[in-house]
Every structure is written in structure tokens, then in C-alpha cells.
Structure 1
Amino acid sequence: MNADRRELAGFAAAGLLAYAADLALFSWLRGPAALDPLTAKSLSFVAGCTVAYLGNALGTYRHARATGIRAYAVFVAVNGAGALVQLLCLTVSHYGLGLTSQRADTVSGAVVGMALASLVRFWGTRTLVFRAGGRVGSWTG
């Protein structure tokens, strides 16, 4: 497997683990813990970001020198930008185009929005967070 594919695979694996942690924690916080949805989502988002950061810092980009609170803060900001992309896709589809069914919301937010947000997150993670030497891939995108 070439370096670019290893980087993509590592980034995707960290993202899947983060998604699972976010979903599991959100479900628990909304269910048994009985928190309101915004508090539950805020806490699960931070937990998911932390899992993704650790997966990338200790795995995909382990040779990069980006560590510490600054790198983590930039990583959370990049993930926040990705979340905004998902919300923008949903907003445009639902309110701008009038596609208001549950299926349309799912496609725009969780499929199209997630795909575009993943591109933003990948670019931001490799360019803004782990931009130091030692990157797994050779692409300078």
C-alpha cells in the first residue's frame, strides 16, 4: 500500500472510531443519563474529537511533531468547520431547496454533508494540524 493510501486508511480508521465514540456517548447521554440534546451532543462531539485526535496523533501522523494543546485546539477547530459544512448542506437542502423529508435531510446532512465535511477535515488535519515533517503521505495538498 503506498503512503497516500496508508494516510487515507489511517485517517478513515481514526474517523470511524471517533464516530462510534460520539454516537455511543450521545446515545447514552440522551438515554440513561437523560441530558438535553444540545448538552449531550456537545459532550459527545468533544469526546469524538478527542478520539479522532488521539487516533491520528498516535497512528496516522505519529511521526509528525504536532502535539500539545495548540495542536488539539486546531484539530477541534477543523472538526468544528467540518460540522458547519454538514449543517450548511442540511440548511441549503431543507430551507433553501425545500427538500424537507426525513430522507432528504439524511441524504443532505449525513451523506453529502458528511462527504464534504470529511474532505474539509482531512485537508485541515494534514495541512493545519500535522503539517510538520514525518507525514505518512507524500501529497502536499
Structure 2
Amino acid sequence: MSDRRTLRDRLRGIAQEAAKFGTVGAFGFLVNVVVFNLCGQAAGLAPIRSGVIATSAAICANYLGNRYWTYRHRDKTGRSREAGLFLLFSCVGMVIENGVLALSHYGLGFTSPLADNLAKNVIGLGIGSLFRFWSYRTWVFRTAPAPAPGATPEPATAGSPGN
């Protein structure tokens, strides 16, 4: 029975983490779409250039949201390692997003603003987000190490996850 409860607790924790990741991602999505369309439609930049600029802006917003909200309870000791891995996996996600856009725009000839938005911001971003969720929780925002046996736990503060 305890194994079942443990599994249920793990699944509940992953669901809560995924919901927070999705909320941060929704904000990043808005940043991505607005910047992509401003660059492409208002500034007249090429689709891939617009996509790279938009995704870079969203990566910055998403790092802040994920570090300080979604994964705030995770290990914070290796910030430079964390930021480097976040950037690496975010860039892989950017390649996925813009690869789908390039395939649609240049390979298949779907060149309308609607087609570009669907390719990049729906299909590419969806696939890229699945990759990012897995890689961030697995490699970037690692679980904080458990306290040593017999060590006294730190007192809870107003900003800790339990409060």
C-alpha cells in the first residue's frame, strides 16, 4: 500500500510541476508569438531570423519563471552549470522550433503569416516544449540533495515551498 501511495504522490508532484512549467511556458509562448510577429510583420525580418529572436526573448523569460517559481525548490548550488545547461537545452528546443518553421516555409512552401505561426508556434513549440520539460527536470533543475541523516532541518521561511 505504501508503494501505491508513493507512486500517487510522485505522480501528483509531477502533475503540479508540469502545471507550473505550463504556466511559465504560456507566458513564454505569448512573448514568443508577439516578438515573432513584430519582427516578421512589423520589421519585415525573415521568418527564421524572427523565430530566433522571438525564441531567445522567450528563453530569458522562461529561465526566470522556471528558476524562481517552477523549480524554486530544486538545487541552487550550481547556478553557472544550471544556466549553461538551460541555455544548451533551450537552444536545442530553438532548433526544433525553427527547424519545423524552415521545413514548412522553405521546404513545403507554406509562406503565409498564418502558416509560419502554426509551424513555429504550434507544432514546433509543442515538440520543443516536450523536449524542454524532460531535459530541464532531468538535467538542469536537479533535485536538491537530501539532508544527511541526523542533521537538523533548516527552519522554514516565508518563501519556502511548504509555506
Q: TM-score, normalised by structure 1?
A: 0.70
Identity of aligned residues (%): 29
The answer for the alignment partner of 1:139 in structure 2 is none
Structure 2 residue runs of 5 or longer lacking an equivalent are 1-10, 146-163
- In 2 relative to 1, CA 9–81 (structure 1 residues): closer, same or farther, beyond 3 Å? same
The answer for the alignment partner of 1:16 in structure 2 is 26
The answer for the alignment partner of 1:70 in structure 2 is 81
- In 2 relative to 1, CA 106–24 (structure 1 residues): closer, same or farther, beyond 3 Å? closer
Matched, 1:111 2:122: yes
RMSD: 3.3
- In 2 relative to 1, CA 123–54 (structure 1 residues): closer, same or farther, beyond 3 Å? same
Question: 1:46 offset after TM fit, Å?
Answer: 4.4
Higher mean alpha-carbon deviation, 4-13 vs 63-72, is at: 63-72
Higher mean alpha-carbon deviation, 58-67 vs 45-54, is at: 45-54
Q: Which has the higher contact order (CA 8 A, sep 6+)?
A: 1
Deviations 1:34-62 (A, max 9, x none): 8x7859x64x6444323211211121111
Match of 1:113, SS? helix
The answer for the alignment partner of 2:150 in structure 1 is none
How many corresponding residue pairs? 129
The answer for the alignment partner of 1:57 in structure 2 is 67
Question: 1:24 offset after TM fit, Å?
Answer: 5.8
Q: Is the contact between residue 99 and residue 105 of structure 1 (CA under 8 Å) also seen in structure 2?
A: no
Q: Is the contact between residue 53 and residue 75 of structure 1 (CA under 8 Å) also seen in structure 2?
A: yes
Question: 1:99 offset after TM fit, Å?
Answer: 3.8
Greater CA radius of gyration, 1 or 2? 2
Match of 1:123, SS? helix
Question: 1:21 offset after TM fit, Å?
Answer: 4.3
Alignment partner for residue 110 of structure 2, among 100, 103, 115? 100
Question: 1:133 offset after TM fit, Å?
Answer: 3.8
Question: 1:22 offset after TM fit, Å?
Answer: 5.0
Structure 1 runs of 4+ with >6 Å offset = none
Alignment of 1:2-13 (within 5 A): 2-13=12-23
Q: Is the contact between residue 20 and residue 70 of structure 2 (CA under 8 Å) also seen in structure 1?
A: yes
- In 2 relative to 1, CA 84–12 (structure 1 residues): closer, same or farther, beyond 3 Å? same
Structure 1 residue runs of 5 or longer lacking an equivalent are 135-141
Alignment of 1:23-42 (within 5 A): 27=38, 42=53
Aligned equivalents of 2:19, 2:84: Cα separation in 1: 23
